[in-house]
Structure 1
């Protein structure tokens, strides 16, 4: 697979402690019904989430913000429950080019340290937009897990 040249400065890294066990945090990323609850900024919604969680599987997630859907797509490259996910992330905010996201989940007693790394972003604006976006999403994830207003859905 050929990748366009990308600037190694166009990378973001976010670390967040989430007050929930590692398995629960991992499952929040890998079950569509759970993704719908948190993968949008507070005050917006997820129109649809389709996840085929296997290596080579794809996902499509639409965040509805200000009455417009922004669709995010990607392909899973690595799935190591409950420790690590690696997937591509494509949307209009990556200029429809692939970026690569690695999410690692570290057990810290009853809490989880989540480390999100996104590489191959097209420019500094995309880095800033995604840093802001992921920060909001992870806040929403932490709040959703704290409320426990949804349960594991098989």
Structure 2
């Protein structure tokens, strides 16, 4: 496998990719914190601390909205660096991403998890989403080759979902 493509990521595409990555990265927090706040709110209500209980319940409702807002804000700050003409070179050893501002080269072995979605391939180092490839940047044959390559990595021990 050896593909070289040039494309320009769209701002909404970058936001969706990293939004999906961060949602997966923060999945446990997104569920656990509101659940804990609801349980604490119920305990406060049973003990008669109605004001504190209401605050806990409100926090459980507001937290997911605030987290989504924070994710979007972080991604928006990065758009100027990410939404520029980009050249990707993918080989069986790794991938290289080049723009006028930066060059990043990573071996596939760096990624502990590669998540396949209908729109992207999301790359994780540890639990952190570090990169993505948009499917739209590749033709159908290249997409099929990448899907096969990532599936082979899964069978060799790298987690790909």
Give the TM-score normalised by the residue count of structure 1: 0.30
Q: Which has the higher contact order (CA 8 A, sep 6+)?
A: 1
More strand by share: 1
